[in-house]
């Protein structure tokens, strides 16, 4: 009998032993379980990474990382111990193959990117941009993106307990890096949140609020509870989704007594008012799902909220095979009761080409993961098309595979097209990474880049 392309196997979760790292050899279980200890011991720079990993870390790797931070990184480094511990889970840094394994590690590849990971030919696509989804253009009030008719995104703060190298909000989120100065909110936090609530009180067409950032785990709990409680007082709001990668990156926070008790209060109010509260998290690799993460997800479900769902990002070298996506989805579903929901194509931000997949690759992946998971838990692979919104990868209307340009249409007006009669007839473009195109397509992009250079020189004269 022939084998199936994917073979399902239930795998027990495993918390790697942090004491294999010289810098954490004496850390107790109690310290590890403390959110304060985790926050205070985040790895924020190369010096701290060296302190944790000890002499096992190769000098060439360190130089590679340093160069990336100087010349390419769009996000500063911030990795909680919980996440560092899921990198190269089976090896101690003293092992001869540690650095090689660290280079290949899926979590390292997006949390601690190095210069040699990136493309030298096209580090950025010519159409890449900061705020590539144009969220700030669609702010109804500062930080509140009104892109879809019935739902809004509330960016309640610009920080997270962890910074991901590929962050789509690299324009706003995190500390400045040598190559990216960050946009700053103009309003003070409480004024901004107040303005969001005021807007929603007079906009009854909105029923669904994604409370995001940043990561809501960085908003002091009483402030978050107050904001969500006030959202629930607005009759038209039926769905509230709290976005927190920290459910995986800092599960200790979501397991704390203060947060569990607060979430129970919110869930009780939500039930009384027939509002659904869900947590949306962001797990990209099966090895990130440890027993602590599963406990945090279950603790949140036990408070009575509607669901915990996962929105991962599809990235080359991280999770770009059907087996990786299915292993992750089964681990989420079976071991943590987290619903696999979306995998996004990595957005077109600067210096992200090495992570990005072509639309064709994403369509193939979607095809290959069908039929194994229950239908309700089969993640959809999504292209977030600038000025359009989320589209399943098979919804493309035309696709030029030579130049790597896909064309998309939409069926509603975003916040910037209220008076644009042609918005629904227009096609909007999305672009594959150029180095993946056939030679003819790559030549075409090179000639375009050449023309732009000539035009720029002409303009300068
Ligand atoms: S947790 Fe989310 S918002 Fe924060 S850096 Fe990562 S991707 Fe960006």
- Which pLDDT tens digits describe the chain residue by residue (461 residues)? 899 999 999 999 999 999 999 999 999 999 999 999 999 999 999 999 999 999 889 999 999 999 999 999 999 999 999 999 999 998 999 999 999 999 999 999 999 999 999 999 999 999 999 998 899 889 999 999 999 999 999 999 999 999 999 999 999 999 999 999 999 999 999 999 999 999 999 999 999 999 999 999 999 999 999 999 999 999 999 999 999 999 999 999 999 999 999 999 999 999 999 999 999 999 999 999 999 999 999 999 999 999 999 999 999 999 999 999 999 999 999 999 999 999 999 999 999 999 999 999 999 999 999 999 999 999 999 999 999 999 999 999 999 999 999 999 999 988 888 888 888 989 999 999 999 999 999 999 999 987 766 555 444 44
- Asked if residue 122 lies in contact with residue 353, where contact means CB atoms within 8 angstroms, the answer is yes
The number of helices, as runs of H, and strands, as runs of E, in the chain is 16, 13
Residue with the smallest CA separation from ligand 1 atom 3 is: 214
Phi and psi at 409, nearest 5°, equal -125, 170
* Shortest-distance atom of ligand 1 to CA 169: 8
Cis amide prior to 214 (ω within 30 degrees):
yes
- Asked if residue 371 lies in contact with residue 141, where contact means CB atoms within 8 angstroms, the answer is no
- Integer Cα distance of 413 and 445 in angstroms: 31
The burial class, CB within 10 Å (0-12 / 13-18 / 19+), for 165 is: buried
Phi and psi at 152, nearest 5°, equal -135, 160
- Integer Cα distance of 354 and 436 in angstroms: 10
pLDDT of residue 333: 98
∠ at Cα 234 (232, 236), nearest 5°?
105
58 phi-psi bin (left φ>0, alpha ψ -120 to 50, beta other): beta
Q: To the nearest 10°, the Cα dihedral for 68, 69, 73, 76?
A: 150
CA of 299 to the centre of ligand 1 (A): 22
- Integer Cα distance of 25 and 326 in angstroms: 34
Query: Alpha-carbon Rg of the chain, whole angstroms?
Result: 22
Alpha helices in 388-438 (DSSP H): none
Place of tokens 């790559």: 442
Residue with the smallest CA separation from ligand 1 atom 8 is: 167
- Integer Cα distance of 112 and 79 in angstroms: 8
The burial class, CB within 10 Å (0-12 / 13-18 / 19+), for 212 is: buried
Whether the CB of 146 sits within 6 Å of ligand 1: no
C-alpha distance from residue 374 to each of 9, 284, 297, 380 (Å): 15, 20, 20, 12
**DSSP states of 182-225 as a string?**
PP--SS-HHHHHHHHHHHHHT-TT--EEEEESS-GGGS-HHHHH
- Integer Cα distance of 50 and 29 in angstroms: 22
Query: DSSP code of 154?
Result: E
Q: Which residue from 132, 166, 173 has its CB within 8 A of the most atoms of ligand 1, so it is best to mutate? A: 173
Query: DSSP code of 2?
Result: P
CA of 243 to the centre of ligand 1 (A): 9
Q: Which residue from 131, 145, 163 has its CB within 8 A of the most atoms of ligand 1, so it is best to mutate? A: 163
pLDDT of residue 460: 46
* Shortest-distance atom of ligand 1 to CA 174: 5
pLDDT of residue 456: 54
Whether the CB of 243 sits within 6 Å of ligand 1: no
- Asked if residue 160 lies in contact with residue 174, where contact means CB atoms within 8 angstroms, the answer is yes
351 phi-psi bin (left φ>0, alpha ψ -120 to 50, beta other): left
Question: pTM score, two decimals?
Answer: 0.95
Whether the CB of 344 sits within 6 Å of ligand 1: no
Per-position b or e across 21-38, b if 16+ CB within 10 A of its CB: bbbbeeeeeebbebbeeb
* Shortest-distance atom of ligand 1 to CA 170: 8
Percent helix, strand and coil across the chain, each to the nearest 5: 40, 15, 45
- Integer Cα distance of 227 and 197 in angstroms: 8
Whether the CB of 246 sits within 6 Å of ligand 1: no
Whether the CB of 78 sits within 6 Å of ligand 1: no
CA of 317 to the centre of ligand 1 (A): 19
Per-position b or e across 176-206, b if 16+ CB within 10 A of its CB: ebeebebeeeeeeeeebbebbbebbeeeeeb
Q: Of 379, 366, 281, which is closest to residue 330 (Cα–Cα)?
A: 379
């Amino acid at each position: 009998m022939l084998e199936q392309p994917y073979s399902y196997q239930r795998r027990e979760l495993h918390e790697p032993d942090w004491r294999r790292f010289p810098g954490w050899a004496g850390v107790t279980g109690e310290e590890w379980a403390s959110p304060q200890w985790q926050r205070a011991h985040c790895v924020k720079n190369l010096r701290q990474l060296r302190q944790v990993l000890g002499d096992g870390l190769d000098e060439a790797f360190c130089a590679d990382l340093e160069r990336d931070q100087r010349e390419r990184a769009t996000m500063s480094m911030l990795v909680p111990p919980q996440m560092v511990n899921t990198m190269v889970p089976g090896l101690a840094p003293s092992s001869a193959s540690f650095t090689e394994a660290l280079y290949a590690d899926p979590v390292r590849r997006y949390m601690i990117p190095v210069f040699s990971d990136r493309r030298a030919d096209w580090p950025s696509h010519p159409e890449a941009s900061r705020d590539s989804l144009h969220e700030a253009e669609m702010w109804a009030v500062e930080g509140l993106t009104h892109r879809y008719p019935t739902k809004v995104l509330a960016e309640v703060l610009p920080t997270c307990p962890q910074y991901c190298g590929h962050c789509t909000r690299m324009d706003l989120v995190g500390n400045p890096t040598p190559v990216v100065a960050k946009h700053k909110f103009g309003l003070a936090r409480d004024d901004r949140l107040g303005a969001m609530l005021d807007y929603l009180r007079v906009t009854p067409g909105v029923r669904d609020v994604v409370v995001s950032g940043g990561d809501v785990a960085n908003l002091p709990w009483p402030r978050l509870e107050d904001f969500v409680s006030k959202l629930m007082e607005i009759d038209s709001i039926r769905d509230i989704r709290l976005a927190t990668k920290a459910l995986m990156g800092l599960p200790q926070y979501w397991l704390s007594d203060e947060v569990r008790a607060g979430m129970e209060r919110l869930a009780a109010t939500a039930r009384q008012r027939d509002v659904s509260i869900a947590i949306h998290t962001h797990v990209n690799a099966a090895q990130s799902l440890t027993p602590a993460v599963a406990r945090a997800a279950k603790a949140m479900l036990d408070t009575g909220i509607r669901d915990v769902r996962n929105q991962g990002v599809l990235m080359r070298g991280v999770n770009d095979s059907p087996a990786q996506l299915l292993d992750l989805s089964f681990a989420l579903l079976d071991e943590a009761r987290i619903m696999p929901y979306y995998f996004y194509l990595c957005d077109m931000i600067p210096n992200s080409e090495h992570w990005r997949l072509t639309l064709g690759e994403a369509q193939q992946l979607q095809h290959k993961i069908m039929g194994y998971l229950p239908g309700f838990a089969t993640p959809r692979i999504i292209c977030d098309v600038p000025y359009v919104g989320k589209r399943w990868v098979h919804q493309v209307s035309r696709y030029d595979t030579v130049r790597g340009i896909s064309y998309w249409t939409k069926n509603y007006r975003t916040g910037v097209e209220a008076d644009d009669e042609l918005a629904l007839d227009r096609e909007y473009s999305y672009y594959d990474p150029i180095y993946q195109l056939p030679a003819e397509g790559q030549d075409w992009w090179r000639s375009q880049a050449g023309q732009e250079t000539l035009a720029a020189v002409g303009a300068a004269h």
